[in-house]
Structure 1
Amino acid sequence: MDILNMDACAQSAALENGDLSAAELMEATLARIEAVNPAVNAIVSLRDGERLMEEARAADNAPRSGWLHGMPIAIKDLANAAGLPTSMGSPLFAGQVAETDDTMVARLKAAGAIIIGKTNTPEFGLGSHTFNPVHGATRNPYDLSKSAGGSSGGAAAALAAGMLSVADGSDMMGSLRNPAGWNNVYGMRPTWGTIPNEPEGDMFLHQLSTSGPMARSPADLAGLLDVMTGADPRLPLSTEAVKTFAGINRAPKNLRIGWLGDWDGAFPYADGIMDISQAAMVQMEGLGHKVETLNAPFDAYAMWQSWNDLRSFAMAGKLGPLYADPTKNEYLKPACIWEIERGLAMSAMDVQRASAIRSDWFRRVTRLFESMDVLVLPSAQLWPFDVEWVHPEEIAGQAMDTYHRWMQVVVPAGLIGLPVVNVPVGFSADGLPAGVQLIGPRGSDGALLQLAQQWHGATEWPQKRLPQL
């Protein structure tokens, strides 16, 4: 078997027992990147190959420091990795080299990972389509004319193309779910607070985004999640570490799964999305679980307004200083300016109302989980679209009124910080991948991963159908 198509856990075991060296793995990784990355454009800011080979040989001669020892990984270009540029896809930060590692990156290094470069992302992570004026667009390995999704599109495409075996990502509005679905891999948005953000700026109000793992198997997700999690005493809302890998192969039985479909017509879908998702629900029943079709449990419009306001509030708080600087605001893309201006125009009571709606939804879903173990929605409302588009303007004849409305299906979980795992569910007639979101109550990260692993054992989509590059 090609060592680059092995699961990360298998690579790690081979490194530990001496069947594979870190130098061999690094050499193969660099060769794969050289062969396919020019077409896909998933890896950016790649480090010098000779230096990386030196670090791999050093890893071979050093005691193992963790399960990632000697394994190559690239960091999403929103996070800081010391010595590498953090462009965030913006010309304002192109070439700006990080002096220190973010907490999550430091944890990966402590577990033995070798940082080889960055993965591409849209400007400031805005929009579920990975393109920017610094590094260009990332293309879908299953069809190079299509989008890889985003904002963790570079990470997902690198996994699908065999350039990485595990990757980090981040998710505010589906950024670990949509690209995973569109690249036939797994992506996990963990319970909010499980993976600490950086102790900078406001640390209380902006509870929307989180980092998370991506991989070609749920076991690899669990392994990476266990490295990334853990409370940071500098952060008031971070939580204690979750350990999910040890129980990953405990197959769940008789789960109650709630299929939310199109949310009583609120979410338009492209042809085929509902069909492939519902077929996956039939397969879930074949694994011994009970699937029930649910009515919409909350007002979709209220949820969308809450999301829009809280997201714009967060973006204005983070990026407002760039907008206020006349020497910099001309470099911001329209979606970024739209978010900031909305946020700046809000009153305190606007934000309070949005947060009250979020609270109402959390109370409602908590009651829903008394009768359901897992909720399911598609990971995206349409198939991967033309890579040259900025964003889709309509779905099934329904106009999209914002740059991100086409991703409304990810809002129910993201708005209230629930854990979600994207699982691949197959391909369209044109060979384009799709996925569904497995959503659980807060703290159910391990249980969701067990269900995903059971699904993986029955389907193995990432291994069955590799991209032909």
Structure 2
Amino acid sequence: MTSGDELCTRPATELAALVHSRAISARELLEAHLARMDRYDAVLNAVVTRDDAAARAAADAADAALAAGAPVGPLHGLPVAHKDTHATGGMRTTWGSPLLRDTVPRADELVVARLRAAGAIRVGKTNVPEFAAGSHTVNPVFGATHNPYRHGLSAGGSSGGAAAALAAGLVPLAEGSDMGGSLRNPAAFCNVVGLRPTPGRVPTWPAPMGRSTLSVQGPLGRTVADVALQLSVLAGPDPRVPISLSDDPAGLAAPLPERLDGLRVAWAPDLGGRVTVDPAITTVLTASLPVFEDLGASVVEDCPDLSGADEVFGTLRAWLFDASFGDLVRRHPDQIKETIRWNAGLGARLTGTDLARAEQRHTRLHETVVEFFTRYDVLLAPTTQVLPFPVEVEYPTEIAGVPQEDYLAWMRSCTLLSPTGCPALSVPGGFTPGGLPVGLQVVAAPRLDRRVLEVGHAFEQATRFGEHRPIL
């Protein structure tokens, strides 16, 4: 007999097969996860809104559909948690803000609807920083999410509740979003897998600025194959989304290789001297590099020229923040956190010339990385510049003795890559001697999302770092 705790630590791909074959029921799987939430989440604070009754009804309906022989989706019966910035019809969505703490959307947004259509069972909402701003999950509505590997430390963000829930076995699948690292950073902090897809791979709707490529939505999972499975149902065109990609997503979930023969790998430990990284992180990742050579790849130290990436990211982020939060900031300045007020204020002062210069640099940056990836198949880099830090700290103000100028500076290992348009995967990269997780970032040319999944999977299978679960 499979125990509830064992079910809650299995890969989602295995759980999907068990439900489809009726070896376990969707209701049994759901109850195991709800019981685990009851046991551990009061301490973690990862899943902040639940509707157990609705989830049980959905699980019973999933079992009835299987019993009747009805066609079912690839995620049929799997519990899933949604980021608390993503609208869920009939379930509270707060964006981590006191201004919106009682908001109940009338309909699902697209990322939620696609998971539901694939058969996933909605169990709740995962914690975020206020309006998803910043890579540390704490807000005035629900408080801080704790790292499953060490209570009292950050789970990262802004999809920190999602990553913590996955690592702790509270759900087998979760989703999030990423502007400056919000899928990658928490994956690294919590020893799970997070993918920032190519912009347009996972269409975002509704979106007030539908042509923007800076923020994307995407999957998190405990294994790369779990992420690939979820991506295969999240991806695909939508006529309402002007940048959505038309590629057939079915192949994204195909079996992943375990060898990397002939792969050309570039390793950029500090992104060409542009970021300061805690030496403990660099030490862990450098020790893991020989794995790629053992798998048949060649590895050299190199990095694309990321000149202008800071300006592009900073300008376009500020523009988006003013468009998204400027009115709220002006109407409720005392109820919005200072970092959002600062970022929206920068956006309000931008000129047309500022935006034009940023877009020109954006274009040159794209051309630069496309040329770089004619010489290499993937780029490897640290996902984060720091290890998980105390939850009481809003954001790191220095790294290895180097002062950080604002609340975004410590995330530059991710923010420099966001405006390139490249898919970027964070995969477990090892542990410090003190037992803290470290993430390895795998980056490929725009639209080659399948490639980062293949490389991440081969590394994951060779190292098994992701199988080291936290002691709760």
TM class by shorter chain equals over 0.9
What is the DSSP-based 3-state SS (H/G/I as helix, E as strand, rest coil) of the residue aligned with 1:73? strand
State the match for 1:119 in structure 2: 126
Matched, 1:132 2:139: yes
Corresponding position of 1:195 = 202
Match status 1:320 vs 2:326 = yes
Answering whether residue 399 of structure 2 is matched by residue 395 of structure 1, we say yes
Task: Tell me what 1:311 maps to.
Answer: 317
Q: Which letter does structure 2 place at the counterpart of 1:291?
A: V
User: Aligned AA for 1:231?
Assistant: P
Match of 2:263 among 255, 267, 276: 255
- Aligned counterpart in structure 1 of residue 454 of structure 2, from 431, 434, 450: 450
The question of whether the paired residues in 2 share the 8 Å contact of 1:23 and 1:56 is answered with yes
Residue 228 of structure 1, CA deviation: 0.3
d(CA) in 2 for partners of 1:147, 1:107: 30
Distance 2:294 2:354 in 1: 46
Query: Residue 352 of structure 1 aligns with which residue?
Result: 356
Distance 1:367 1:332 in 2: 42
Q: Which residues of 2 match residues 12-411 of structure 1 at below 5 A?
A: 12-47=16-51, 49-62=52-65, 63-204=70-211, 206-240=212-246, 241-242=248-249, 243-249=251-257, 251-294=259-302, 297-299=305-307, 302-325=308-331, 328-411=332-415
When residues 250 and 466 of structure 1 are mapped into structure 2, their CA distance, relative to the original with a 3 A threshold, is: closer
Deviations 1:30-65 (A, max 9, x none): 100001101110001111x34422321221111352
| Alpha carbons of structure 1 residues 251 and 308: separation in structure 2 relative to 1, 3 Å | same
Name stretches of at least 5 consecutive residues in structure 1 with no aligned partner: none
Query: 1:365 offset after TM fit, Å?
Result: 1.0
Query: Could you tell me how far apart the structure 1 residues matched to 2:156 and 2:237 are?
Result: 30
Distance 1:66-1:249 versus aligned 2 partners, 3 A rule: farther
Q: Which runs of 5+ in 2 are unaligned?
A: none
TM-score by length of 1: 0.96
CA distance in structure 2 between the aligned counterparts of 1:11 and 1:178, rounded to whole angstroms: 26
**Deviation, structure 1 residue 377:** 0.9
Deviation at 1:296, TM superposition (A): 5.6
1:419 equivalent in alignment to 2:423? yes
CA shift digits 1:5-50 (9 cap, x unpaired): 1100100111111211111101100100001101110001111x34
Q: Give 1:224 shift.
A: 0.2
Q: Give the counterpart letter for 2:86 in structure 1.
A: A
The CA distance in 2 between the partners of 1:296 and 1:237, in whole Å, is 25
**In structure 2, distance between residues paired with 1:64 and 1:27:** 24
Letter in 2 for 1:73: V
Q: CA deviation at 1:262?
A: 1.2
Return the offset for 1:150.
0.4
Query: Any idea what the Cα deviations from partners look like across 1:67-93, whole Å, max 9, x if unmatched?
Result: 211111110011011111111101111
Once the two structures are overlaid, the 10-residue window that deviates more, 175-184 or 248-257, is 248-257
**SS of the residue 1:134 aligns to:** coil
Q: Aligned match of 2:435 in 431, 436, 453?
A: 431
Report how far residue 200 of structure 1 moved. 3.9
- How far apart, CA to CA, are the structure 1 residues paired with 2:416 and 2:175? 22
The residue aligned with 2:464 is: 460
Q: Distance in 2 between matches of 1:251 and 1:109?
A: 34
| SS at structure 1 position matched to 2:8 | helix
Whole-Å Cα distance in 2 between the matches of residues 416 and 266 of structure 1? 15
Within 2, Cα distance between the matches of 1:199 and 1:35? 36
**8 A Cα contact 1:173 1:407, kept in partner:** yes
User: Which piece of structure 1 moves more, 400-409 or 239-248?
Assistant: 239-248
Aligned-residue identity in percent: 38
User: Higher mean Cα deviation, 212-221 or 242-251?
Assistant: 242-251
Aligned residue identity for 1:164: V
1:316 aligned partner, one-letter code: D
Q: What per-residue deviation string (whole Å, max 9, x for no partner) do you get for residues 254-274 of structure 1?
A: 110101111343211113111
Q: What letter is aligned with 1:136?
A: G
Moved more, 182-191 or 241-250: 241-250
Question: What per-residue deviation string (whole Å, max 9, x for no partner) do you get for residues 89-134 of structure 1?
Answer: 0111101001000011111111111111101111111100000001
**1:247: Cα distance to partner?**
4.1
CA offsets 1:117-154 (integer angstroms, 9 cap, x no match): 10111111110000000111000000011000000100
3-state SS in 2 of match to 1:5: coil
Q: Secondary structure at the match of 2:362?
A: helix
